[in-house]
Amino acid sequence: MESSKSVLYSPYGAYEQKSKYQFNFLVGTFSTLTFVILILLVAWLISSMSEEEYSDVPVVVVKTVADLGPPPSITKSKPQIEVAQPNVAAPKVGIPKPVADDEVMDEDVVIATREELAEIVAPDITTSESGGEIVVDIAQDDYLPAPDEFVKVEIYPEMIHEVTPKYPRLAEQAGITGVVWVKALVDESGNVRRAIVGKSSGTTSLDEAAVEAAYKYKYKPGIQNGRPIKCWVSYKVDFVL
Protein backbone atom coordinates (compact mmCIF):
# COMPACT_ATOMS: atom_id res chain seq x y z
CA MET A 1 0.00 0.00 0.00
CA GLU A 2 2.79 2.43 0.86
CA SER A 3 4.57 1.76 -2.46
CA SER A 4 1.44 2.45 -4.49
CA LYS A 5 0.79 5.73 -2.70
CA SER A 6 4.37 6.88 -3.27
CA VAL A 7 4.02 6.30 -7.03
CA LEU A 8 0.71 8.23 -7.31
CA TYR A 9 1.82 11.21 -5.30
CA SER A 10 5.49 11.47 -6.45
CA PRO A 11 6.48 15.09 -7.34
CA TYR A 12 9.19 14.00 -9.82
CA GLY A 13 7.55 15.03 -13.11
CA ALA A 14 6.30 18.46 -12.07
CA TYR A 15 9.55 19.33 -10.44
CA GLU A 16 11.62 18.52 -13.52
CA GLN A 17 9.38 20.64 -15.78
CA LYS A 18 9.53 23.61 -13.41
CA SER A 19 13.28 23.38 -13.01
CA LYS A 20 13.93 23.43 -16.86
CA TYR A 21 11.16 25.89 -17.82
CA GLN A 22 13.26 29.07 -17.77
CA PHE A 23 16.14 27.42 -19.64
CA ASN A 24 13.87 26.14 -22.40
CA PHE A 25 12.18 29.54 -22.69
CA LEU A 26 15.53 31.33 -23.10
CA VAL A 27 16.74 28.81 -25.66
CA GLY A 28 13.54 29.14 -27.76
CA THR A 29 13.56 32.95 -27.65
CA PHE A 30 17.23 33.13 -28.62
CA SER A 31 16.72 30.66 -31.47
CA THR A 32 13.74 32.62 -32.84
CA LEU A 33 15.58 35.96 -32.70
CA THR A 34 18.60 34.42 -34.39
CA PHE A 35 16.42 32.99 -37.21
CA VAL A 36 14.66 36.33 -37.76
CA ILE A 37 17.96 38.20 -37.83
CA LEU A 38 19.34 35.75 -40.38
CA ILE A 39 16.28 36.25 -42.64
CA LEU A 40 16.58 40.04 -42.44
CA LEU A 41 20.30 39.84 -43.14
CA VAL A 42 19.79 37.64 -46.23
CA ALA A 43 17.03 39.92 -47.53
CA TRP A 44 19.29 42.97 -47.10
CA LEU A 45 22.12 41.26 -48.95
CA ILE A 46 19.82 40.27 -51.85
CA SER A 47 18.37 43.76 -52.15
CA SER A 48 21.80 45.39 -52.15
CA MET A 49 23.06 42.97 -54.83
CA SER A 50 20.00 43.54 -57.10
CA GLU A 51 20.41 47.32 -56.98
CA GLU A 52 24.04 47.08 -58.04
CA GLU A 53 23.34 44.65 -60.90
CA TYR A 54 20.24 46.37 -62.33
CA SER A 55 21.08 50.00 -61.65
CA ASP A 56 21.70 50.71 -65.38
CA VAL A 57 18.46 49.10 -66.66
CA PRO A 58 15.96 51.76 -67.90
CA VAL A 59 12.61 51.85 -66.18
CA VAL A 60 9.61 51.44 -68.50
CA VAL A 61 6.46 53.12 -67.26
CA VAL A 62 3.20 51.80 -68.78
CA LYS A 63 0.48 54.45 -68.61
CA THR A 64 -2.13 53.10 -71.04
CA VAL A 65 -3.03 49.82 -72.70
CA ALA A 66 -1.65 51.15 -76.00
CA ASP A 67 1.84 51.33 -74.44
CA LEU A 68 1.89 47.57 -73.99
CA GLY A 69 2.25 46.99 -77.74
CA PRO A 70 1.07 43.96 -79.70
CA PRO A 71 1.13 40.58 -77.97
CA PRO A 72 3.93 38.19 -78.91
CA SER A 73 3.19 35.85 -81.79
CA ILE A 74 2.43 32.25 -80.88
CA THR A 75 3.33 30.96 -84.33
CA LYS A 76 6.78 29.62 -84.84
CA SER A 77 8.85 31.64 -87.24
CA LYS A 78 10.57 29.83 -90.05
CA PRO A 79 14.34 29.59 -89.74
CA GLN A 80 16.23 32.02 -91.89
CA ILE A 81 18.28 30.44 -94.64
CA GLU A 82 21.61 32.06 -95.16
CA VAL A 83 22.26 32.80 -98.83
CA ALA A 84 25.76 33.44 -99.98
CA GLN A 85 26.11 36.90 -101.42
CA PRO A 86 27.72 37.14 -104.86
CA ASN A 87 31.09 38.76 -105.06
CA VAL A 88 30.27 41.99 -106.88
CA ALA A 89 32.75 44.77 -107.12
CA ALA A 90 31.67 48.01 -105.52
CA PRO A 91 30.76 50.75 -108.00
CA LYS A 92 33.22 53.51 -108.49
CA VAL A 93 31.75 56.82 -107.42
CA GLY A 94 33.19 59.74 -109.29
CA ILE A 95 32.91 63.44 -108.75
CA PRO A 96 29.91 64.90 -110.67
CA LYS A 97 30.75 67.51 -113.25
CA PRO A 98 28.47 70.49 -113.90
CA VAL A 99 26.88 70.59 -117.35
CA ALA A 100 24.57 72.98 -119.17
CA ASP A 101 20.80 72.65 -118.81
CA ASP A 102 20.46 71.72 -122.48
CA GLU A 103 22.68 68.66 -121.99
CA VAL A 104 20.73 67.24 -119.05
CA MET A 105 18.82 64.10 -119.96
CA ASP A 106 15.27 63.86 -118.65
CA GLU A 107 14.48 60.32 -117.47
CA ASP A 108 10.72 60.82 -117.92
CA VAL A 109 10.95 61.54 -121.67
CA VAL A 110 9.09 59.01 -123.84
CA ILE A 111 10.39 58.79 -127.40
CA ALA A 112 7.64 58.29 -129.97
CA THR A 113 7.89 55.57 -132.59
CA ARG A 114 7.81 56.17 -136.33
CA GLU A 115 4.17 55.12 -136.53
CA GLU A 116 3.20 57.57 -133.79
CA LEU A 117 5.15 60.37 -135.44
CA ALA A 118 3.39 59.68 -138.75
CA GLU A 119 -0.02 60.02 -137.09
CA ILE A 120 0.82 63.42 -135.58
CA VAL A 121 -0.51 66.27 -137.70
CA ALA A 122 1.45 69.48 -137.32
CA PRO A 123 -0.59 72.69 -136.87
CA ASP A 124 -0.49 75.49 -139.40
CA ILE A 125 2.43 77.80 -138.62
CA THR A 126 2.46 81.27 -140.16
CA THR A 127 4.78 84.24 -139.84
CA SER A 128 3.38 87.70 -139.27
CA GLU A 129 4.44 90.39 -141.70
CA SER A 130 5.27 93.06 -139.11
CA GLY A 131 7.33 91.51 -136.33
CA GLY A 132 8.25 88.18 -137.84
CA GLU A 133 6.77 86.29 -134.86
CA ILE A 134 5.63 82.69 -135.28
CA VAL A 135 1.90 82.25 -134.82
CA VAL A 136 0.35 78.81 -134.31
CA ASP A 137 -3.09 78.68 -135.89
CA ILE A 138 -5.23 75.85 -134.45
CA ALA A 139 -8.87 75.90 -135.48
CA GLN A 140 -11.12 75.66 -132.42
CA ASP A 141 -13.98 74.33 -134.53
CA ASP A 142 -12.10 71.09 -135.11
CA TYR A 143 -11.84 70.28 -131.42
CA LEU A 144 -14.55 67.94 -130.08
CA PRO A 145 -14.54 67.16 -126.35
CA ALA A 146 -14.78 63.52 -125.34
CA PRO A 147 -18.01 62.24 -123.73
CA ASP A 148 -16.33 61.79 -120.33
CA GLU A 149 -14.35 65.05 -120.52
CA PHE A 150 -15.27 67.79 -118.04
CA VAL A 151 -16.26 71.04 -119.75
CA LYS A 152 -16.98 74.20 -117.78
CA VAL A 153 -20.46 75.46 -118.66
CA GLU A 154 -22.34 78.35 -117.06
CA ILE A 155 -25.59 77.81 -119.01
CA TYR A 156 -26.31 74.33 -120.37
CA PRO A 157 -27.86 73.86 -123.83
CA GLU A 158 -31.64 74.08 -124.01
CA MET A 159 -33.66 71.93 -126.42
CA ILE A 160 -35.80 74.05 -128.77
CA HIS A 161 -36.74 71.44 -131.41
CA GLU A 162 -37.43 67.79 -130.61
CA VAL A 163 -37.94 64.97 -133.11
CA THR A 164 -39.84 61.80 -132.23
CA PRO A 165 -37.72 58.76 -133.12
CA LYS A 166 -39.20 56.36 -135.64
CA TYR A 167 -40.33 53.19 -133.93
CA PRO A 168 -38.51 50.17 -135.46
CA ARG A 169 -41.01 48.00 -137.36
CA LEU A 170 -39.83 44.66 -136.01
CA ALA A 171 -39.71 45.93 -132.44
CA GLU A 172 -43.20 47.38 -132.80
CA GLN A 173 -44.57 44.12 -134.18
CA ALA A 174 -42.93 42.17 -131.35
CA GLY A 175 -44.30 44.60 -128.75
CA ILE A 176 -40.83 45.56 -127.46
CA THR A 177 -40.59 48.71 -125.37
CA GLY A 178 -37.69 50.37 -123.59
CA VAL A 179 -35.89 53.51 -122.45
CA VAL A 180 -32.71 54.78 -124.13
CA TRP A 181 -30.42 57.40 -122.60
CA VAL A 182 -28.69 59.41 -125.35
CA LYS A 183 -25.63 61.65 -124.98
CA ALA A 184 -25.38 64.36 -127.65
CA LEU A 185 -22.57 66.83 -128.34
CA VAL A 186 -24.06 70.28 -129.06
CA ASP A 187 -21.83 72.75 -130.92
CA GLU A 188 -21.76 76.54 -130.88
CA SER A 189 -24.63 76.74 -133.41
CA GLY A 190 -26.93 74.45 -131.43
CA ASN A 191 -26.55 71.51 -133.80
CA VAL A 192 -25.74 67.97 -132.70
CA ARG A 193 -22.23 67.09 -133.87
CA ARG A 194 -22.13 63.62 -132.32
CA ALA A 195 -24.57 61.30 -130.57
CA ILE A 196 -23.93 58.07 -128.66
CA VAL A 197 -25.90 55.71 -126.40
CA GLY A 198 -25.36 56.59 -122.75
CA LYS A 199 -27.43 53.72 -121.39
CA SER A 200 -28.84 51.05 -123.65
CA SER A 201 -32.42 49.80 -123.59
CA GLY A 202 -31.26 46.28 -124.27
CA THR A 203 -32.57 46.35 -127.83
CA THR A 204 -30.18 47.38 -130.60
CA SER A 205 -32.89 48.66 -132.95
CA LEU A 206 -34.30 51.00 -130.29
CA ASP A 207 -30.82 52.36 -129.49
CA GLU A 208 -30.08 53.01 -133.17
CA ALA A 209 -33.42 54.78 -133.71
CA ALA A 210 -32.81 57.08 -130.73
CA VAL A 211 -29.29 57.98 -131.91
CA GLU A 212 -30.49 58.60 -135.47
CA ALA A 213 -33.19 61.00 -134.27
CA ALA A 214 -30.69 62.83 -132.00
CA TYR A 215 -28.96 64.45 -135.00
CA LYS A 216 -32.27 66.17 -135.93
CA TYR A 217 -32.62 67.94 -132.56
CA LYS A 218 -31.99 71.67 -132.26
CA TYR A 219 -30.64 73.41 -129.11
CA LYS A 220 -29.69 76.74 -127.74
CA PRO A 221 -25.92 76.35 -127.34
CA GLY A 222 -24.18 76.22 -123.98
CA ILE A 223 -22.62 79.45 -122.71
CA GLN A 224 -19.31 79.93 -120.92
CA ASN A 225 -17.85 83.40 -120.27
CA GLY A 226 -20.52 84.90 -122.54
CA ARG A 227 -19.54 82.74 -125.52
CA PRO A 228 -21.16 79.61 -126.98
CA ILE A 229 -19.17 76.44 -126.55
CA LYS A 230 -19.39 72.74 -127.36
CA CYS A 231 -20.67 70.53 -124.57
CA TRP A 232 -22.47 67.24 -124.01
CA VAL A 233 -26.07 66.83 -122.90
CA SER A 234 -27.96 63.71 -121.81
CA TYR A 235 -31.65 62.93 -122.22
CA LYS A 236 -33.86 59.85 -122.33
CA VAL A 237 -36.09 58.53 -125.08
CA ASP A 238 -39.13 56.41 -124.15
CA PHE A 239 -40.28 53.81 -126.65
CA VAL A 240 -43.85 53.03 -125.63
CA LEU A 241 -46.52 51.36 -127.79
Cα dihedral value 164, 174, 200, 155, nearest 10: 10
59, 61, 75 from 72: Cα distances, Å: 21, 19, 9
Residue 237: how many CB atoms within 10 A of its CB? Answer: 20
Residue 190: how many CB atoms within 10 A of its CB? Answer: 18
Judge contact between 221 and 186, C-beta under 8 A. Answer: yes
pLDDT < 50 regions, the chain: 1, 136, 138
What's the chain's Rg over C-alpha atoms? 52
**Residue 147: per-residue pLDDT:** 87
**Residue 21: per-residue pLDDT:** 74
**Residue 157: per-residue pLDDT:** 92
Q: What is the pLDDT of residues 89-102, one digit of tens each?
A: 666 656 667 766 66
